[in-house]
Amino acid sequence: MEIVMPDVQLLALAPEIILIIVAFLMLLFSPLLGGENTKSGPKVGGIVSLIALTAAFVINLLIGQNGQSEIITFGGMIAKDSFSLYFNALVIIAAAFSIIISFDYIDKFGIKEGEYYLLILFSTVGMMLMGSSTDLLSIFISLEIMSIPIYVLVGFSRNNLRAREASFKYFILGAVSTGIFVYGAALVYGSAGSTNLAAIADALLAKPLYNDPIFMLGSAFLISGFLFKISAVPFHMWTPDVYEGANLPITAFMSVGVKAAALSAFIRFIVYDLAITGDSWVLALSLVAVATMVLGNSAALAQSNLKRLFAYSSIAHVGYIIIALIAATESAIASVLFYLLIYIVTNLGIFAFLIYFSKKENECESIDQLAGLGYSHPIMAVCMGIFLFSLAGIPPTGGFMGKLFLFIAAVESGYVTLVVIAVIASGVSVYYYLKVMMSLFEKGKKTEENIKNPYAALVVFIAAIITIYLGVMPGFFIELAKRCALSLF
């Protein structure tokens, strides 16, 4: 039997390879640098991983500039097109910002282990691979490379039972969703004869497999696996608990990175395969979208814990995104890409703000802790206002533009009812975003204290500027999103 070596273009994977090498080197040297008795150990790891992320980002841009529209390598398992490069850039930005906001945080909370940063790096590699995967096998592996470090990171803080509980809940539910995902992959493989997304599409075009119950069941299981990772209703139950239990930088990283990465693979699956099968899955996903928006927004109304509030708000935002996924046209996917960029920047800004006001061993997570901060720290409060307005979708912030393009794309495809529900739901969301704002400017609770956390402040300012910029001059990024979405079709 002749063994054929698949063509392997390692250069296309250079960003991931750099991150993996740096992460393994940190794994070797972190006992020397970040032991119990060293003070600066973890910080060195953070700076090294920031440099690695910057290098990966630059190489990612260079691959994009290369002119080659698409590199398919590893036997059709990895595709580096503009779509995957866009998502790689997004998750690198998310990881870099999460690392910057961790600098001061881990001093305050006594995290000395150097593994903290390298786990973020490993998880980032998984997220990047996920955006590039074009085979159920590579999607599955990258899903796990992404998730397993996150299970550990969620339970990272010592002597904190909430973190342990969150870690176990996320782990066991994540493992169940993995089980469902691979079983679905097995059924789809049996029905279509291949695990490659493009080959599945060919099989679907050759014969109407979507009447095949095995294929239907398999794709339903695959969709459930994806919906779990992006925390859509009815697979959302873990989100508030995990967001509350995890450390704030990890919550920030999870709420943007995991969602973006899972969505990238989900979009690829929808555009490559599900779009061919006609309307068989539209009704189910519409129900999911409506339930996600309604439940996310209404559950957030009653929350007084900020982490839980933003967990439910992130669930609601997934609902808006799913509407565009149902439409699955070029402009709809482009609007999702643009929306995700805004969502990532805004959410990172919000969590950086919460970290800025966290005290030693005491996270700023209750809405009462914000009372009166608007008078003592007016600039930070204005930035927070920008983020909240952006999440609520009020102009001139990026969130407004994102929602506008998302809803336009959905209306163009004829999903008017869904858009009406989404607009009402986002109207409801204004209440709890403004509730946070109100508490910032609560009268008579003026608190004077000197807070020094330049790293978190830097991220807050950068995020606020980008949010405003995207709201006022979105042209360049919309064109970019359109170009990247085009590479899928």
Partner 1 sequence: MITTTHYLVLAAIIFAIGCFGVLTRRNLLVMLMSVELMLNSANLTFVAFAKSLGDTSGHIFPIFIMTVAACEVAVGLAIIITIFRMSKISDVLGLTFMKDIKSG
Among 29, 57, 183, 375, binds partner 1 (CB under 8 A): 183
Q: Which stretch binds partner 1 (CB under 8 A): 146-154, 282-290, 399-407, 437-445?
A: 146-154
- Least spacing, CB of residue 175 vs partner 1, in Å: 4
- Helix ranges restricted to H, 66-135: 82-108, 115-132
- Helix ranges restricted to H, 235-281: 238-245, 248-253, 259-272
Among 308, 317, 377, 403, binds partner 1 (CB under 8 A): 308
Q: Which stretch binds partner 1 (CB under 8 A): 187-195, 332-340, 444-452, 480-488?
A: 187-195
The HSE-up count of residue 231 (CA atoms within 13 Å, CB side) is 27
Question: What is the chain's Cα-based Rg?
Answer: 22
> In angstroms, what CA-CA distances link 64 with 8, 60, 68, 443, 480?
19, 6, 8, 51, 11
Nearest alpha-carbon partner for 87 in 384, 481, 402, 464: 481
Q: Which is nearer to partner 1, 11 or 186 (CB)?
A: 186
Is residue 73 part of the contact set for partner 1 (CB under 8 A)? Answer: no
φ, ψ dihedrals at 273, nearest 5°: -110, -55
Is residue 20 part of the contact set for partner 1 (CB under 8 A)? Answer: no
Is residue 164 part of the contact set for partner 1 (CB under 8 A)? Answer: yes
Among 166, 232, 326, 466, binds partner 1 (CB under 8 A): 166
Q: Which stretch binds partner 1 (CB under 8 A): 12-20, 66-74, 144-152, 280-288?
A: 144-152
Q: Which stretch binds partner 1 (CB under 8 A): 8-16, 29-37, 239-247, 378-386?
A: 239-247
- Least spacing, CB of residue 263 vs partner 1, in Å: 21
> In this structure, what DSSP letter does residue 74 have?
T
Answer yes or no: are the C-beta atoms of 322 and 284 closer than 8 Å. no
Q: Which is nearer to partner 1, 50 or 152 (CB)?
A: 152
Is residue 198 part of the contact set for partner 1 (CB under 8 A)? Answer: no
The HSE-up count of residue 409 (CA atoms within 13 Å, CB side) is 28
Binding footprint of partner 1, residue count (CB under 8 A): 44
**CA 182 centroid distance within chain:** 22
- Tokens 């097109």 belong to which residue? 81
Rounded distance between C-alpha atoms, residue 245 and residue 160, angstroms:
9
Q: Which stretch binds partner 1 (CB under 8 A): 31-39, 148-156, 285-293, 382-390?
A: 148-156
Among 20, 186, 282, 404, binds partner 1 (CB under 8 A): 186
Among 115, 241, 273, 363, binds partner 1 (CB under 8 A): 241
Is residue 423 part of the contact set for partner 1 (CB under 8 A)? Answer: no
Q: Which is nearer to partner 1, 13 or 139 (CB)?
A: 139
**Cβ atoms within 10 Å of 100's Cβ, excluding its own:** 20
Answer yes or no: are the C-beta atoms of 463 and 348 closer than 8 Å. yes
Nearest alpha-carbon partner for 435 in 309, 341, 324: 309
Nearest alpha-carbon partner for 280 in 197, 205, 212, 202: 212
Is residue 180 part of the contact set for partner 1 (CB under 8 A)? Answer: yes
Answer yes or no: are the C-beta atoms of 382 and 298 closer than 8 Å. no
- Identify the helix (H) or strand (E) that includes residue 317: helix 306-327
Q: Which tokens is 239 given?
A: 């989100």
- Least spacing, CB of residue 168 vs partner 1, in Å: 5
**Amino acid letter, residue 272:** Y
Among 245, 349, 374, 393, binds partner 1 (CB under 8 A): 245
Residues 254-293 as x/- pattern, contact with partner 1 by CB under 8 A? ----------------------------------------
Contacts of residue 250, Cβ cutoff 8 Å, sequence gap at least 6? 98, 150, 153, 154, 156
> What's the start-to-end Cα distance of the chain, in Å?
37
Answer yes or no: are the C-beta atoms of 248 and 354 closer than 8 Å. yes
Is residue 100 part of the contact set for partner 1 (CB under 8 A)? Answer: no
Residues 101-140 as x/- pattern, contact with partner 1 by CB under 8 A? -----------------------------------xx--x
Is residue 169 part of the contact set for partner 1 (CB under 8 A)? Answer: yes
Q: Which stretch binds partner 1 (CB under 8 A): 21-29, 64-72, 166-174, 205-213?
A: 166-174
Rounded distance between C-alpha atoms, residue 48 and residue 117, angstroms:
9
Residues that bind partner 1 (CB under 8 A): 136-137, 140-141, 144, 148, 151-152, 155, 159, 161-162, 164-169, 171-172, 175-176, 178-180, 182-183, 185-187, 189-190, 193-195, 240-241, 244-245, 302-305, 308
